[in-house]
Amino acid sequence: MNDFLFYIIVALVKIVIIANMILITVSYLVYFERKISAWTQNRVGPNRVGYLGLLQPFADVLKLLLKEDIVPKVANKFIHSMAPFIALFVAFTTYAVIPFGPSITLWGKEIPLMMADVNIGILYVLALTSIGVYAITFAGWSSGSKYSLLGGIRSSAQMISYEISMGFSIAGVLIFSQSLRPMEIVIAQHGWMWNAVLQPVGFLTFVVAAFAETNRLPFDLPEAEPELVGGYHTEYSSMKFAAFFLAEYANMIIGSAMIVTLYLGGWQFPYVETFGFSPAVTIGLQVGAFFVKMGALLFFFIWVRWSIPRFRYDQLMNIGWKVMFPLSLLNLIWAAILAMIMK
Amino acid sequence: MSGTVPKKRLKDLSFWQKIYVPEIIKGLSQTLKQMFQPSFTMEYPEVKFDPPASYRGRPVLVQEENGIERCVACGLCSRVCPALAIEVQAGETEREKERYPEKFEINMLRCIFCGLCEEVCPEEAIVMSKDYEIVFTNRADALYGKDKLLTPIAKLQDRINFLRQYKG
């Protein structure tokens, strides 16, 4: 009984920490998105609200809270209000299986530094991110606007073409880890045996697929402003719009956390065991390594957004089916051969 | 679908351009370089833009050193104004120039800053100033009378020199 209570409390503490971490990271991701866009365009960016504009994200949220919530007359009201919450739900539940550190021992009990050590963690992430597209498709369909509908359709078409190359790239990773458990995938990448080093092509296809999955430029066709006036969220306002916004950035964090876990060695700090630090410092360094890698990838996401123009729809399909899919298959064969040799 | 679309530019692209990744890296390095350039932003309320003499700001009436306006109320500016923003009413005085504007009003809601009034003025009496901070909170305040329009000549010397050099 005492054990049971202990694990419940630990789980609650982890939920609170991770949920708040996501929210704060999202708000500052928006801030950095604006700052980095400003720097690339030789501007200054937000610098009025608070020191260096650091309170800007909170001002934005407050503004959105005070806005009127408009639902179009022809909208399907139930689905229209449900869609943003599906998006949020997916964005927040996916973190549950991403390990951000090794197991720690507290009061004689082992606690993994992740919400749930699920043995099919990768499948769980794939399943949930596939639900994520429903949010966008529902939002597009239920708004009763042609622009939104086009955005929703594009999103599902994009999803189908990129989920496949994503799945095959992940298969290459699984050959090495022999497990779907995220913790074991990370442990399999000890030292410099990072999957990004072993299978660079798979890394590339997965990163591209991650960009497409998170609807970031150059694959942001569902919300292409010049063509679709904002796409699936054209008819959303107030907090429902904010929910989509939040989900988009939370998805970006998931995307980079997944890339780190699958390809960049997760929380592994190469050869940290040989430095001879105390266990606590080692774990601290490893957790730090995870967040540094994630931060670098998030910067990369933003950096790409402000550098590369959007793909045309047919180009997107061409790349998805004719380039990424064969490449990920090739990578799978390469991974299999490499695994045979290394055994 | 691609069967019907003619393929364009295939010959122009080299192999390295076709595989796309090196070009992406080029683009990314370009934006990265820009991130470390100084910014061009002028942070407005603290730093103010100092316009060159050719700048067409708010039209104003020139006031001589003795405090009298140059305007003789001929009404040409009012006549030429494409937005019908200027209203002039002439009056008589005992001074050397016998006419003066009893009322001179520019509706700043109408003014389009074209500078035609300045160009047509025979007395060099109405010129475009460097003032770009034009604020009012209701329509009545938008009518700028002589009190707001009269500006000492010392402040306008820059523009007058510019006009003498380039006008006509």
Give how far A55 is from chain B: nearest CA, Å.
Answer: 18
pLDDT digits (tens, 9 = 90+) for B133-166: 889 899 999 999 888 888 888 888 889 999 888 8
Mean of the pLDDT values across residues B22-38?
88
A136, part of any domain:
yes
- A251: tokens are 């998805």
Q: Is residue A46 situated within a structural domain?
A: no
Angular region, A53: left φ>0, alpha ψ -120 to 50, beta rest: left
Radius of gyration of chain A measured on its C-alpha atoms:
21
User: What pLDDT sits at residue A112?
Assistant: 75
Let me know: does A152 contact A137? Beta carbons within 8 Å.
Answer: yes
CA distance linking residue B126 with residue B111, whole number of Å: 14
- Residue A106 confidence (pLDDT): 73
- The ipTM of this complex is 0.72
- The domains of chain B, with CATH numbers, are 59-166 (3.30.70.3270)
- Average pLDDT of chain B, as a whole number: 86
User: Which has more confidence, A113 or A249?
Assistant: A249
- pLDDT class for B5, splitting at 50, 70, 90? low
User: How do beta strands B143-144 and B99-107 pair?
Assistant: antiparallel
- Is residue A289 one of the residues assigned to a domain? yes
Element (H, E) at B16: helix B15-18
Determine which of A39, A211, A300 to mutate to test the interface with B (most B C-beta atoms within 10 Å): A39
Q: Which residue has the higher pLDDT, A144 or B120?
A: B120
Question: Which of B1, B31, B41 shows the shortest C-beta gap to A306?
Answer: B31
The per-residue pLDDT for A149 is 85
The one-letter amino acid code at B101 reads P
Element (DSSP H or E) covering residue A258: helix A238-263
What tens digit of pLDDT does each residue of A58-75 get? Answer: 888 888 888 888 888 888
Residue A170 within any structural domain of the chain: yes
Structure tokens at A100: 């951000």
B92 has a pLDDT exceeding 80: yes
Cβ atoms within 10 Å of A53's Cβ, excluding its own: 17
For chain A, the straight-line distance linking the first and the last C-alpha, in angstroms and rounded, comes to: 45
A33 falls within a domain? no
pLDDT-derived band of residue A153, with 50, 70 and 90 as boundaries?
Answer: confident
CB-based contacts of A259: which residues, under 8 Å, 6+ apart? A206, A207, A210, A297
Q: Residue B26's closest chain A neighbor by CA? A: A307
Which residues on B lie below 8 Å from A306 (Cβ)? 31
Q: Which of B41, B44, B47 to mutate to test the interface with A (most CBs of A within 10 A)?
A: B41
Element (DSSP H or E) covering residue A118: none
SS3 B86: strand
Query: Quick one: pLDDT at residue B109?
Result: 92
For chains A and B, what is the number of CB pairs under 8 angstroms?
Answer: 41
Quote the domain boundaries for residue A337. 59-342
B10 pLDDT more than 70: no
Contact status, residue A262 vs residue A177, Cβ threshold 8 Å? no
Interface test with B, best of A42, A300, A311 (most B CBs within 10 A): A42
Give residue-wise pLDDT tens across range A192-242: 778 877 888 888 889 988 888 888 878 877 777 777 777 788 888 888 888
* A13 falls within a domain: no
On average, the pLDDT of chain A sits at 84
The residue among A223, A204, A210, A184 whose CA lies nearest residue A301 is A210
Confidence of residue B8 (pLDDT cuts 50, 70, 90): low
Provide the pLDDT for residue B110.
Answer: 92
Torsion of CA B132, B133, B134, B135, to 10 degrees: 160
More confident: A196 or A171:
A171
C-alpha distance from residue A223 to each of A73, A164, A258 (Å): 22, 22, 23
How large a percentage of chain A has pLDDT more than 70? 99
Domain-located, residue A32: no
Enumerate the residues of chain B whose CB falls inside 8 A of the CB of residue A204. 21
**Is pLDDT larger for residue B16 or for residue A93?**
A93
Give the count of domains, chain A: 1
| Per-residue model confidence as pLDDT tens digits over A299-323 | 999 998 888 888 888 888 888 888 8
Instruction: With residue B151 as reference, give the H or E element that holds it.
Output: strand B150-152
- Structural domain includes residue A138: yes
CA A174, A178, A181, A182 torsion: positive or negative? negative
